Amino acid sequence: MKKVFMIAAMATAVAMAPANAETVKIGYMTTLSGGAGIIGKQMQNAVELALEHKGGKLGGMDAEVIFVDDQRKPDVAKQLANRLVKSDRVDVVAGVIWSNLLMAIHKPVTRADTLLISSNAGPSPIAGEECHENFFSMSWQNDQTPEAMGKYMQDAGIKSVYLMAPNYQAGKDMLSGFKRYYTGEIAGEVYTKLGQSDFQAELSALRAVAPETTMVFQPGGMGINFVKQWKQAGMDGVSKLYQVFTVDGVSLPALKETALGILGTQSWSPDLDNDINKKFVADYKAKFGGYPSFYAAQAYDTIMAVDHAITTSGSKDTDKMRAALAKGNIPTTRGVLKMNSNHFPIQNFYLRDTVLDADGVVTSKVLSTVFTDHADSYAASCKF
């Protein structure tokens, strides 16, 4: 009896083998627990929607996605990345919200000859000197979004700006990116505590300075706190507020009308006029009952990129997928994306307003294009 089972099992294994070879495995890492769990949830939704749109196949191969929760901890991220590469033997590791986590898994994944595709984080070292040919970004380099804000405010003839960001690496990167394109007067530069919940003291200090404009970077829950308190303190009468990564699809449901009229920059918007984006936004809203955020759009694009790589190269082989992606020409929610020499996209950046849609739901809308085909500032120092 035992023997029969053995033979049956072996026969099944042999029969399964060719099918296995045609399955592409993606390890998708994001933050599903803790205060940032909502971001990860939206990304997971988008990945599942992308697979559904592709009929469960990427480039004609059966697709399997393993979701892992990095808990926003670099050590956990590193362990999970090793597990995905070594024991799950995935073909692609993708996702990653936070720059410090991406830095932690960058070498372990890329050196194991596995593709690493970021759906969000874009720290400067990976775009520049520490770049690796197996890494691709489907988002942006961190400096680029505030660069667009700086460019817009410079061109709009704004004379002075007060800057505010949390006191950590990304906060400093954001403000230095802004200052690369804005050369007017800096009325003040304030770094707040990471995770701060009450900004009343900072707002009182800002009122005393009464700058013409204020530009903030306060991502996640901090953004909800900041915008609420800005409005409650009547700061609109004192200074005009601009932001990056502070008012987005994740914070809008908690802010609603409070966020109306606040301008920001972004490389994606729910109203971008192309077929992929229209289908993505409409189906996401129908399935999950709310607007997707840019995190979700970039997660969707990540799966689109894998599909594109396999379709054009006809293989899930790392070398072939890499060659296909490096050529760019990737169909995404942001149109057809070009790839730079450091494997970061060359793309447009838009000025967005916060408005009510036809159903009275608060959302973002493109006002104008700030940068057309904008490349990051680090590509020159990247040598594979």
User: In the complex, which residues of this chain contact another protein (CB under 8 A)?
Assistant: 34-35, 37-38, 41, 167, 189-193, 195, 197-198, 200-202, 204-205, 208, 221-222, 224-225, 228-229, 232-234, 250-251, 253-256, 258
Give the nearer residue to another protein in terms of CB position, either 123 or 171: 171
With CA atoms as reference, report the closest residue to 165 among 123, 218, 235: 218
Closest contact distance (angstroms) between CB of 209 and another protein is 10
Provide the token pair at 242.
Answer: 């601009």
The nearest distance, CB 287 to another protein, in angstroms, is 15
CB-nearer residue toward another protein: 252 or 370: 252
Instruction: At 373, list the tokens.
Output: 């085909």
Nearest one of 271, 285, 287 to 353, comparing CA atoms: 271
CA distance 272 to 173: 27
Instruction: In angstroms, give the least distance from the CB of 212 to another protein.
Output: 19
Q: Which is nearer to another protein, 82 or 229 (CB)?
A: 229
Give the span between the Cα atoms of 26 and 251, in whole angstroms.
Answer: 28
Q: How far apart are the first and last CA of the chain?
A: 57
- Cβ 376 to another protein, closest distance in Å? 23
Report the candidate in 48, 31, 4 with the shortest Cα–Cα distance to residue 303.
48
Distance CA 221, CA 244 (A): 14
Q: Smaller CB distance to another protein: residue 120 or 332?
A: 120
**Residue for token pair 């006191």:** 167
What is the dihedral angle through the alpha carbons of 44, 170, 124, 147, rounded to the nearest 10 degrees?
100
Task: Count Cα neighbours of 65 within 13 Å in the Cβ-side half-sphere.
Answer: 25
Tell me whether residue 58 or residue 255 sits nearer to another protein (CB atom). Answer: 255
Closest separation in Å from C-beta 350 to another protein: 25
Least distance to another protein, CB of residue 347, Å:
28
Pick from 174, 177, 140: nearest CA to 373: 140
Residue whose CB is less far from another protein, 132 or 285: 285
Shortest distance (Å) from residue 204 CB to another protein:
5
C-alpha torsion 232→233→236→240, nearest 10 = -120
Min CB(150)–another protein separation in Å: 18
Q: Based on CB atoms, which residue is closest to another protein, 192 or 333?
A: 192
Q: Which is nearer to another protein, 117 or 163 (CB)?
A: 163
3-class secondary structure per residue, 263-309: EEEECCCCCCCCHHHHHHHHHHHHHHCCCCCHHHHHHHHHHHHHHHH
